[in-house]
């Protein structure tokens, strides 16, 4: 028998069996009434996950497309924005903005830190020409999950843009309560669906900014999308109907488990992974905080490069984790624990990591990290809820 393949990265994540099977159903066209009904209900469920009663748009694209849509729909050439760069994915926002001729003020922070919202507030106060501030909720390159209530408060007078690519469905976003104007995300992480759908949740202030923005856009034009939704209950261009049907199943499962229970499960999974890697002598880059519930980026001991370690895990144990981004490429392994993941997925990943680290010459006390994960996860219960 071949080794089973186990996906433990921060996206794409494994699909629940019910979501997988929905991918094999006969395709339906988006123009039939039962699809329109499904899509309308799906948008309502997405609103619950984003925590907003306002508009959520769905695009056929990676999350990067939704990020680009935020830049192209909100700004005009020469507009100035602030981007908090505390990791690899935050820097992508600056790159997109610059590609569109938007002036970027970077708030550079060390990798592994959370967003310094007090510094954001100071920067905005010091430069009234800044029209918007951008941050990443869960910086997938470091595992750091930031406080969106603080970011929303600091950005009350400008447009606030949040990248919730890996956090949506794993951590509370509460777009409405936190006063966030634009939140983007995708389907392939905590929403447990194969990649190819991206989302944008929008406030009324975002819509007003959209009306004045002069940057060119067509495929990602929010107004075109909203008009098609409002008048035809459909998207203006062929939607990824197969993925939408799968996402519908996934969202029903999430809401049946209950969003608060889902968030609590992710907190406990994060505790388990951090306790385990710490026991192994690795160090969570973002520190030990319950907020960091999506992915753990663990600094490796000197002499244990990430590439060969990840290759051993995949080739010999079938466990796929990933390495670090950019300058941290060989210094980090990143273990995803978001989406359709329970504590025994963590147990497998940690058991394999014990073996791979030992193979790499690192001192390992067999079973100790697995035990630490079990201990940190806490009492049984939440993780064993099986959706109907």
60 makes contact with a second copy (CB under 8 A):
yes
The residue from 176, 179, 233, 242 that contacts a second copy (CB under 8 A) is: 242
> DSSP secondary structure string, 7-29?
E-SSSS-PPPHHHHHHTTSPP--
Binding window for a second copy (CB under 8 A); candidates: 48-56, 64-72, 80-88, 279-287? 64-72
Convert 26-91 into a string of H (helix), E (strand) and C (coil): CCCCCCCHHHHHHHHHHHHHHHHHHCCCCEEEEEECCHHHHHHHHHHHHCCCCCEEEEEECCHHHH
Tokens of 387: 């959706």
73 makes contact with a second copy (CB under 8 A):
no
**How many residues bind a second copy, per CB under 8 A?**
57
- Cα dihedral 20, 21, 23, 27, rounded to 10, equals -170
Nearer to a second copy, 215 or 255 (CB): 215
The residue from 1, 27, 126, 386 that contacts a second copy (CB under 8 A) is: 27
21 makes contact with a second copy (CB under 8 A):
yes
349 touches 321 (CB < 8 A): yes
The residue from 14, 87, 112, 152 that contacts a second copy (CB under 8 A) is: 14
Considering the complex, what minimum distance in angstroms separates the CB of residue 12 from a second copy?
A: 5
3 makes contact with a second copy (CB under 8 A):
no
In degrees, rounded to 5, the angle at the alpha carbon of residue 162 between the alpha carbons of residues 156 and 164 is 145
Q: What is the C-alpha separation between 223 and 220, in angstroms, rounded?
A: 9
Which residues within the stretch 286-325 sit at the binding site for a second copy (CB under 8 A)?
314, 320, 322
Nearer to a second copy, 124 or 356 (CB): 356
Q: What is the C-alpha separation between 205 and 112, in angstroms, rounded?
A: 31
Q: Which residues bind a second copy (CB under 8 A)?
A: 5, 7, 9, 11-15, 20-21, 23-29, 31-32, 59-65, 67-68, 72, 95-96, 99-101, 186, 188, 194-197, 215-221, 237-243, 314, 320, 322
């Amino acid at each position: 028998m071949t080794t089973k393949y186990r996906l433990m990265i921060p996206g794409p994540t494994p699909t629940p069996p019910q979501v997988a099977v929905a991918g094999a159903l006969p395709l339906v066209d988006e123009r039939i009434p039962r699809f329109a009904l499904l899509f309308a209900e799906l948008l309502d469920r997405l609103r619950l996950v984003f925590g907003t009663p306002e508009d959520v748009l769905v695009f056929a694209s990676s999350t990067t497309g939704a990020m680009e849509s935020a830049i192209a729909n909100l700004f005009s050439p020469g507009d100035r924005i602030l981007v908090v760069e505390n990791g690899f994915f935050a820097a992508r926002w600056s790159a997109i903005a610059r590609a569109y001729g938007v002036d970027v003020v970077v708030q550079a922070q060390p990798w592994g830190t959370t967003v310094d919202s007090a510094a954001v507030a100071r920067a905005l106060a010091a430069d009234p020409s800044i029209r918007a501030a951008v941050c990443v909720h869960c910086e997938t390159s470091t595992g750091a999950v930031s406080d969106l209530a603080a970011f929303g408060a600091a950005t009350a007078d400008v447009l606030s843009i949040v990248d919730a690519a890996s956090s949506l469905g794993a951590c509370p976003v509460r777009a409405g309560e936190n006063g966030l104007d634009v939140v983007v995300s995708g389907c392939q992480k905590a929403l447990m669906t194969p990649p190819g759908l991206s989302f944008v949740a929008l406030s009324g202030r975002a819509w007003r900014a959209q009306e004045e923005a002069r940057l060119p856009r067509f495929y990602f034009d929010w107004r075109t999308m909203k008009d098609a939704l409002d008048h035809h209950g459909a998207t203006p261009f062929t939607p990824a109907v197969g993925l939408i049907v799968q996402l519908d199943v996934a969202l029903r499962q999430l809401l049946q488990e209950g969003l608060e229970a889902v968030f609590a499960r992710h907190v406990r999974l994060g505790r388990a992974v951090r306790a385990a890697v710490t026991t192994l002598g690795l160090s969570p880059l973002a520190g030990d905080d319950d907020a960091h519930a999506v992915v753990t980026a663990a600094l490796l001991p000197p002499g244990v490069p990430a590439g060969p370690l990840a290759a051993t895990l995949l080739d010999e144990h079938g466990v796929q984790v990933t390495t670090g981004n950019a300058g941290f490429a060989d210094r980090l392994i990143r273990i995803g624990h978001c989406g359709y993941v329970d504590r025994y997925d963590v147990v497998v990943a940690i058991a394999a990591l014990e073996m791979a680290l030992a193979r790499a010459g690192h001192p390992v006390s067999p079973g100790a990290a697995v035990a630490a994960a079990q201990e940190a996860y806490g009492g049984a219960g939440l993780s064993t809820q099986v959706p109907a």
